[in-house]
Amino acid sequence: MSDCADPFVDERQRPPPPAFAALDLGTNNCRLLVGAPSGEGFRVLDSFSRIVRLGEGLQQTGRLSELAMDRAMAALHGCAARLARRPVRGLRAIATEACRRAENGEAFLARVRQETGLPIDVISSREEAELAVESCAPLLRRAGRRALLFDIGGGSTELAWIRLPPGDARPELIGYISLPVGVVTLAERCGTAGFAADGFRTMVDDVSARLGMFESVHCIGHEIRQGGVFLLGTSGTVTTLAGLALDLPRYSRPRVDGAVLTFEEATAAVNKLRAMGRDGLAAHPCVGPDRADFVLPGCAIFAAIHKMWPAQQVVVADRGLREGMLLRMMYGERSRTPRRQRPYIPAGLPIPV
């Protein structure tokens, strides 16, 4: 009898592809993404995102507050309940800057593991940068020699300087840095002063001073002047800028992910947000009341990066650590077979050319 599989097996009897889940507990948000391999990509089975402000007050106390931990725990219990209803082949759960910095960060994660069963751990800032690069790899496949990827988070901002080999070779991480400033830390430090012109400039100057060392090591400005370098941003800040630049009546991921902004368009979007004031930001469909206090600090970080490295193009990515974790797990699953040894790329995501 032949060892070959029966070619007449009813497709409806085949088991569904395995599902994988990625959970990212950040300084400001708790996010879950569940996906299953589909051809050369993956299809999203479930997603969840909630603003939990885990890092609220951390700047002043060095500790996670009880109220912040309770908010995060409520969101994490919700994630655990979703996963209980949908068994997965693999799960990766990570925490980032707030838990890295907080004196009681590890104690809080031990509580999370005990109460929810989620195997959550703190990752290093380097792995955070690597995951961002991995998730954005399809958007890096465009004409160019180098790319500077930046991820503006709640408690920190990651920068990754990337070499882009020709063909289908993977992007190469040349260097990275994690700045201890994010939208939450700047908002708490500056308060409402960030809505005034002087306060905004103070935030930009604060971040700019932290970028000099990275520039002195990698001479990115020189590379930009030589041509073939673009910026790639992955965060709520740059997706909001894209929403304004595209004049979207409401946020649309398919329109934003992969969008390319010129230097002038990005600058105009920053100025437009600054002119709205807090009430205008809260009412805007691409911002909303929950994010109104954090948009201008994010814009200040972006403005400092754009001022230091004025590349003519900014590529916008609505993807991040969760997608990077899913890609790694799916690649690991696939690499155990002799078939094409390369990572999955999310299906249907536009790649700018």
> CATH 3.30.420.40: which residues of the chain?
11-124+323-334
pLDDT at residue 41, as a whole number: 65
- C-alpha 328/C-alpha 39 separation (Å) is 16
Q: Between 39 and 136, where is the model more confident?
A: 136
Is CATH 3.30.360.10 correct for 137-317? no
Q: Which CATH class is domain 11-124+323-334?
A: alpha beta
* Predicted TM-score of the model (pTM): 0.84
- C-alpha 210/C-alpha 5 separation (Å) is 60
Q: Express each pLDDT in 93-121 by its tens digit.
A: 999 999 999 999 999 999 999 999 999 99
Tell me: pLDDT of 8 over 80.
no
Pull the structure tokens for residue 109. Answer: 């994660």
pLDDT at residue 43, as a whole number: 85
Q: Express each pLDDT in 190-220 by its tens digit.
A: 888 888 989 999 999 999 999 999 999 999 9
List the alpha helices (DSSP H) in 141-291.
Answer: 183-190, 197-218, 220-226, 236-245, 253-256, 263-283
pLDDT at residue 350, as a whole number: 30
Q: Express each pLDDT in 264-294 by its tens digit.
A: 999 999 999 999 999 999 998 888 888 899 9
pLDDT at residue 335, as a whole number: 62
Tell me: pLDDT of 345 over 60.
no
The SS3 of residue 47 is strand
Strand partners of residue 80: none
| Closest CA relative to residue 314, chosen from 97, 57, 133, 139 | 139
> CATH 3.30.420.150: which residues of the chain?
137-317
Q: Can you tell me the mean pLDDT for 71-81?
A: 97
Q: Tokens 């409401």 sit at which residue?
A: 250
Residues 6+ apart with CB under 8 A from 302: 150, 152, 233, 237, 238, 241, 266, 270
